[in-house]
Amino acid sequence: MDLGLDRDELDKCVQCALCLPHCPTFRVTGEDARSPRGRIGLMRAVQYHDAPLSDQVVESFDTCVQCRGCEPACPSGVRFGRLIEQTRETLVGAGHRPPAKLRFALAALDHHRALLAGSTALAVAQRAHLVPSGLGLPESLPLRRPTLEPSGGDVHLFTGCVMDAWQRDVHLAAKQVLEAMGVGVAPTGAAAPCCGALHQHAGMADKFRGMAAATVAAFDDDQPILVDSAGCGAAMKEYGNLLGTPAAAAFSARVFDIDEWIALRVDDLPHATPLEISVAVQDPCHLRHVQKVHESVRTVLRPFVRELVELDDDGLCCGAGGAFSIVQPELAGLIRDRKTESIVRADADLVASANPGCSLHLQQAGHEVAHPIQLVARALSGVGT
Amino acid sequence: MAVLEKLRKRGAGPAGTRDRCVADLVAALGAERVHNDGAARLLASTDASIFEGGVAGPVCFPDSTAQVQACVRIASAHHRPVVARGAGSGLTGAAAPLGEPVVVATTRMNRILEVDGANRVAWVQPGVINLDLSNHLSPMGLHFAPDPSSQPVCTIGGNVANNSGGPHCLALGVTSAHVLAIEVVLSDGRVVMLGGLDAEPSGYDLRGAFVGGEGMLGIATRVAVRLTPNPAAVRTLLLSFSDVESAAATVGAIIAAGLVPAALEMMDQQCVEAVEDFCHAGYPRDAAAVLLVEVDGMPGGVEAQAAKVEEIGRGHGAGIRVAADEQERQLLWKGRKSAFGAIARIKPDYYLHDTVVPRGRLVEVLQRIYEIVDRHGLLVLNVFHAGDGNLHPIIAYDSREEGMSEKVREAGREIISVSMEVGGVLSGEHGIGVEKRDFMPLMFSNTDLDHQARLKSAFDPVCMMNPGKVLPSPHSCADISELSRASGDVWG
Amino acid sequence: MRRDPCSDPVLAAFAAEIGPSGPVTIKGGGTHWSVGGGPDPTARVVAAPEGIVKFQPSETTVEVRAGTKVTELHEVLAEHGQRTSLPEDPGSTVGGALALGWSGPARLGRGLTRDAVLQIRYVGSAGELVTAGGPTVKNVSGFDVCRLMIGSLGTLGCIADMILRTRPIPELEVWHSVFGIDPADVLQSCATAGSILWDGSCTWIMNAGYGVDVEHDLAVLAEISAKAGADRPAPADPPKLPPHRWSRRPSEALAMGPEDGSFVAEIGVGMVHVDHPVSPPPPDEGSVLVQRRVKQAFDPDSRFNPGRRVGGM
């Protein structure tokens, strides 16, 4: 079956295996079929040699977290993210649809108001113990969301979908820090309800393109668009390539991760007494492997905490992977166990993660996690530890 | 992917016995540890080489010695061969399964069992990744010395099977010098301990014989590795030359001056240019050859060695750059380590060779390699361990071009012949596997090969461990032509 | 290209002398003639050829006949500032040293005897000449039959000729001794310690390396001594080693005490030289089985060195 993969891209892999240790699913299973090299081997088998699309082959593709940790490790420069996205897109087109619970969840994401209302309803239900624990939801959904008012028009703060519903406090912290730098902030809210990254991962490419186009159209000025979710930022920086229009390219060029943007202006940050805590920095994959701006988290955070501690797992994925932890809970748990071991070895007071998915996933394992921008905000407010 | 076409054309083979073997494996290990589906078998049929003749049977993922033992016993009861597989990063097809064997993947046997700093030894399972081990040891100021280029992925079990080397083996020796004891499952399922942790274990050195056995002697299930203290100081120099002869002469002069650098690597102009295009390490593009020299040890000796290297280099007309700090040192090494990436971006395929020649013949052999590839209209880049004469010519090509693969293989054959002519050996660190099996008569007489077969038979008298590798017909205990006519379809 | 060993008349003559049948024992310097049990007196005694065939300082390799004395070999190598890791027992031959497989008391710095071996030519049980290993400093071509010959006490084949890896002789090598310090401190603190010997009260240290580094470590050594309330280390000759060997783990060597009799322990290595014979622990049963199969495969008629046995057999 033709997976629609670019032949040059597919042929680039020389099977050297250097990607294997950087693949979270290979790390926890030891199976070739759970590695980038193995997945490419199966893509070739299907596309070139008409190998059957057996359950195990589909599962091999489905179990990719899409962390892209294999890409920096690849000497041949294989863009594995593109291969697996295309593969999933083709499979979805051929009727291999994502699991029902994922489709149901994704369908809600670009309906901002409904999502917020639904989340509140879920929070109520959760407190009444009506929500099963295996859904990958945060243990305590917020019942109430503080309001997020605009304070100017210097930058847009992209608020997104789930994050706005569940982690609006991160947006508030981002806004607070930006304002402390003298920057007026315009939260996007319902104007740009969802970036589509999760749809893209699930192989729902048409949906993703639609959401990308809508998002691009929602910003008709030239102001920078700051994103405090690494996964959303990575997707929005891809719009230019994806849509191929000058407008989309211009849009992507003004998308910045919030840490990336602040790191370039770190001198504008006011001084504050550092928090008396040591912080382990967890690099979200889409910040480190895709946007490659993970160092900026350290630049921004370093003046505001007592100590930064590096994890010793070479940036291996935590297993959150957008919706991965919902559709592959068992693998996601095993991958998180590895991350947990590394966090325990780091022996810090707190984990900083610049991605909401990672935060939720790690919090569910009992880690205390904050967005780096929240720590900066906390230090600026002089709230101590 | 010729393997797949081959597989699809074939019939299902004697399904009955195959199924019973799988059923027994599942009963012993549990279904989760036995993968008999087409995807798992297809992917276990190859390693990182360009060899394509393997066909894997059921792929097992044991996590203990007892489970490996069960795999071997069940395979034996069903007259199936056994092939151990680590990361699958080998370059000779040594882990490519011939004769549809039971594949024993060691990737889940990845625990560091014990680190004994006082005795400078660690017990590890065979699936532990080489670099993971050294990273684990680094807070104690220790490391495992062999550092092959595949270090981030290759396993200790694979290192034992291949007697792996790496740039830093020039001073410290290859894997054999860093393995004290090995627990092995033999082909009859017996667990034996080879070597020991004491100073001089008694008896024949079965440990030494097992290292480099390419999985044909048994399966290592626990390995005691020697730990090496990290050096107190290190200095890295980049020497650039306007001709290859001077670079090679400098290598000889450094060794003759009584220096044993920690690493002594050479790159030719084609390689330097590719690397610079790729990663901008600041290597001089106009140099005909560069040497990357690293000296380590105590600070005083490091100073003395670095000064001597500089002096020798200048005497041979070298331009010299000394890494001023760790950052610059990393940059220089980045150039060396990016070589494969740089090459992979020139052409989609490469064939990486591995022979050793006397240091004094390096120039001559390089010239002849250039002649060979020119004659075939191919592109070659040389990046290699000059300090021990270990050549790694890399032929970059595109296998999609008609007749190209055959041309590349032919050039490879000629490179091997040239290396042997000047008194070299077939392999410095990759091993023989399938790739060089049929070249063994270039290096060894029938008598020599017969004695190697005796070693094999002492460990594996029934010839079920990784059959068809290393020893050519008629010295192989396996029927190689029969094995190559593999039976079965991975998707069957 | 492969050199046919039979084209070497010296080796061919040696092979012919051994021939295809009858018990044979090969004698080197006879310095360790009783290790593994004395040889059967009915066996024909042969001596390996002598002489250095080819020394290439810039290749750091030397091809040498098995009957050559280690001290003679080292004299020639020393002219180019090199040597091998083989111990320099007076009178012993390189072939004998390999057949015995022992490393010397300076192995901490010089390395193991077995790691010096690149290639061995030996005569097999049918009188055939066999080449194991290869001539270059790095080689992983085929099974490593050399390893079996090292320490085999000549029971698998008669070693005729070998290629050894040479190493540079350090710029400076000095022995000192001092009473009353913990030898483990020396191991921990002196990277130039090429040998640390300890008899329970006195520690002998050989520092080897670049002059500046050795000087540095001697200062460290003086510090260790001062902290322990001991005298300053004094230049000394290495001690005479008691006659019997007790192969132990490094940590066990450090735990030796008066109850073990008089001893000299190699610190960091584990070899302990004692005044009474110590029987080694029972070997691993499975490994004995493989050893028997090795002997059977290489010397099916048990004609090589009858009467002598390697440990555990």
DSSP conformational letter for A35? S
Under the banding of pLDDT at 50, 70 and 90, the label for residue A382 is: confident
Q: Tell me the CATH number for domain C5-168+286-298.
A: 3.30.465.10
Decide which of A52, A76, A93 is a domain's last residue: A93
- Read off the tokens for B260: 């044993």
Whether residues C286 and B429 touch (CB distance < 8 A) is answered with no
Lowest average pLDDT, out of A288-297, B341-350, B374-383, B411-420, goes to B341-350
Helix axes of A100-108 and A112-127: crossing angle, nearest 10 degrees: 120
Q: Is B117 on the interface with A (CB under 8 A)?
A: no
pLDDT at C144 over 90: yes
In a domain, A129, yes or no: no
A103 or B397: which leads in pLDDT: B397
Phi, psi at B400, each rounded to 5°: -75, -15
A70, pLDDT greater than 60: yes
Give me the torsion for CA of B179, B181, B186, B190, rounded to 10°. -170
Asked if C136 is an interface residue toward chain B (Cβ–Cβ < 8 A), one would say: yes
How many CA within 13 A on the CB side of residue B139? 6
Task: Give the pLDDT of residue A75.
Answer: 87
Q: Determine whether domain B347-421 maps to CATH 3.90.1150.10.
A: no
Whether A75 sits inside 8 A of B87 (CB atoms) is: no
Closest CA in chain A for residue B138: A312
Q: Which residue among B203, B385, B388 places its CB closest to the CB of C287?
A: B203
pLDDT at position A108: 77
Mean predicted confidence (pLDDT) in C285-289: 94
**Choosing among B200, B444, B452, which should be mutated to test the C contact, i.e. which has the most C CBs within 10 A?**
B200
pLDDT at residue number A139: 67
Per-residue pLDDT band for A138 (boundaries 50, 70, 90) equals low
Q: Do chains B and C touch (3 or more CB pairs under 8 A)?
A: yes
Within a domain: A323: yes
Q: C204: buried, middle or exposed (CB in 10 Å: 19+, 13-18, 0-12)?
A: buried
Mean pLDDT, rounded, for A351-355: 96
Calculate mean pLDDT across residues C172-194.
97
**CATH number for the domain that contains residue A293:** 3.40.50
Residues of B in contact with C270 (CB under 8 A): 119, 198-199
Note the pLDDT of residue B64. Answer: 98
Kindly report the nearest CA distance between residue C262 and chain B, in angstroms: 19
Number of Cβ pairs < 8 A linking chain A and chain B: 108
User: Domain range for residue A280?
Assistant: 269-381
Verify whether the Cβ–Cβ distance C287 to B193 is below 8 Å: yes
A45 in reach of chain B (CB within 8 A): yes
pLDDT at residue B3 is higher than 60: no
Sheet holding B59-60, edge to edge: B34-35, B59-60, B102-105, B82-85
User: In Å, how far from its chain's centre is CA C265?
Assistant: 17
Measured in angstroms, the CA of A285 and the nearest CA of chain B are apart by 19
Can you give the C-alpha Rg of chain A in angstroms? 20
Contact B242, B287 (CB under 8 A): yes
Q: What is the pLDDT of residue B344?
A: 78
Do residues C170 and C158 make contact, with C-beta atoms less than 8 angstroms apart?
A: no
Give the residue from C35, C143, C264, C295 with the most B CB atoms within 10 Å of its CB, the best one to mutate: C143
Residues 321-340 of B with CB under 8 A from A: 338, 340
pLDDT of residue C6: 74
- Residue A41, chain B, CB below 8 Å: the answer is yes
Q: Do the beta carbons of residue B59 and residue B41 sit within 8 Å? A: yes
Name the minimum distance, in Å, from the CA of C232 to any CA of chain B.
Answer: 23
Q: Which residues pair with C117 in a beta bridge?
A: C164
Measured distance between the N- and C-terminal CA atoms of chain A, rounded to whole angstroms: 57
Give the lowest-confidence range in A90-99, A169-178, B116-125, B248-257: A90-99
| Residues from chain B contacting residue A43 (CB–CB below 8 Å) | none
Indicate where chain B has its CATH 3.30.465.10 domain(s): 112-229
Structure token digits, residue B479: 């029927």
Residue A123 lies in a domain: no
Task: Out of B194, B389, B426, name the one closest to residue C287 (CB).
Answer: B194
User: According to CATH, what is the number of the domain B112-229?
Assistant: 3.30.465.10
CB A311 within 8 A of CB A350: no
- Which run of H or E residues covers position B183? strand B179-185
pLDDT of residue A365: 94
Inspect the interface and report whether the beta carbons of B297 and C280 lie closer than 8 Å: no
Residue of B nearest to A58 (CA): B39
Mean pLDDT of chain B: 92
Mean residue pLDDT across chain A: 91
Is the CB of A17 less than 8 angstroms away from the CB of B88? yes
User: Higher model confidence: residue C280 or residue B214?
Assistant: B214
pLDDT at A136: 58
CA distance B156 to chain A (A): 14
Pair B390, B431: CB distance under 8 Å:
no
pLDDT in the model for residue B338: 79
Q: Judge contact between C59 and B360, C-beta under 8 A.
A: yes
Is residue A321 within 8 A of residue A202, CB to CB? The reply is no
Provide the residue ranges of all domains of chain C, joining segments of one domain with +. 5-168+286-298, 172-274
Question: ipTM, 2 decimals?
Answer: 0.96
Q: Do B108 and A30 touch, CB atoms closer than 8 A?
A: yes
CB C264 within 8 A of CB C272: yes
Total count of domains within chain A = 3
Q: Which of B297, B443, B458 sits opposite C290 (nearest CB)?
A: B458
Task: Give which of C3, C6, C136 to mutate to test B binding, by max B Cβ within 10 Å.
Answer: C136
Number of residues assigned to chain B:
492
Mutating which of B33, B42, B154 best tests the A interface, going by the most A Cβ atoms within 10 A?
Answer: B42
Closest CA to B33 of B128, B109, B130: B109
The pLDDT value given to residue B7? 40
Domain B233-340 -> CATH class: alpha beta
- The confidence score (pLDDT) of residue B159 equals 98
Q: Tell me the pLDDT tens digit for each residue of C298-313.
A: 999 999 999 898 887 7
Nearest alpha-carbon partner for B330 in B236, B228, B231: B236
> pLDDT class for B4, splitting at 50, 70, 90?
very low
- The shortest CB-CB distance from C168 to any of B162, B258, B452 is to B258
pLDDT, averaged across chain C: 95
CB contact under 8 A, C287 and B452: no
Q: What is the mean pLDDT of residues B297-314?
A: 96
Taking CB atoms and an 8 Å limit, are C191 and B169 in contact across chains? no
Residue of B nearest to A61 (CA): B39
Query: Does residue B262 contact residue B293 with C-beta atoms inside 8 Å?
Result: no
Q: Which of A78, A93, A108 is the last residue of a domain?
A: A93
* Chain segment A218-232, per-residue pLDDT in tens: 998 999 999 999 999
pLDDT at B38 over 90: yes
User: Is residue A141 one of the residues assigned to a domain?
Assistant: no
* C115 contacts B209? CB cut-off 8 A: no
Neighbours of chain A (3+ CB pairs under 8 A): B
Domain with CATH 3.30.70.2740 in chain B: 347-421
Assigned domain for A211 exists: yes
Give yes or no for A312 touching B (CB within 8 A): yes
- Greater pLDDT, A315 or B342: A315
How many percent of chain A have pLDDT more than 90? 74
* Structural domain ending residue among the three candidates A58, A93, A128: A93
CB contact under 8 A, B260 and C2: no
- How many other C-beta atoms can be found within 10 angstroms of the C-beta atom of residue A126? 18
Look at B35 and A17 and tell me if their CB atoms are within 8 Å: no
Would you call A24 an interface residue with chain B, using a CB distance cutoff of 8 Å? Answer: no
Q: With a CB-CB cutoff of 8 Å, which residues 67-126 of chain A face chain B?
A: 73-77
Q: What is the pLDDT confidence band of residue B486, given thresholds at 50, 70 and 90?
A: low
Would strands B179-185 and B191-195 be described as parallel, antiparallel, or unpaired?
Answer: antiparallel
pLDDT for the residue numbered C105:
96
Structure confidence at residue B17 (pLDDT): 60
pLDDT of C206 strictly over 90: yes
Q: Where in chain B is the domain with CATH 3.30.70.2190?
A: 233-340
Chains C and A touch (3+ CB pairs under 8 A): no
- Fold category of B2-105 in CATH: 3.30.43
Query: Does A384 score more than 70 pLDDT?
Result: no
Q: What confidence tens digit (pLDDT) does each residue in A305-316 have?
A: 999 999 999 999
Considering only residues A275 and C40, tell me which one the structure prediction assigns the higher pLDDT: A275
Whether CATH 3.30.70 fits C172-274: yes
Q: Residue A92 above 60 pLDDT?
A: yes
Q: Is a pLDDT exceeding 80 seen at residue C237?
A: yes
d(CA B137, nearest CA chain C) in Å: 16
C53 at interface of B, judged by CB pairs closer than 8 A: no
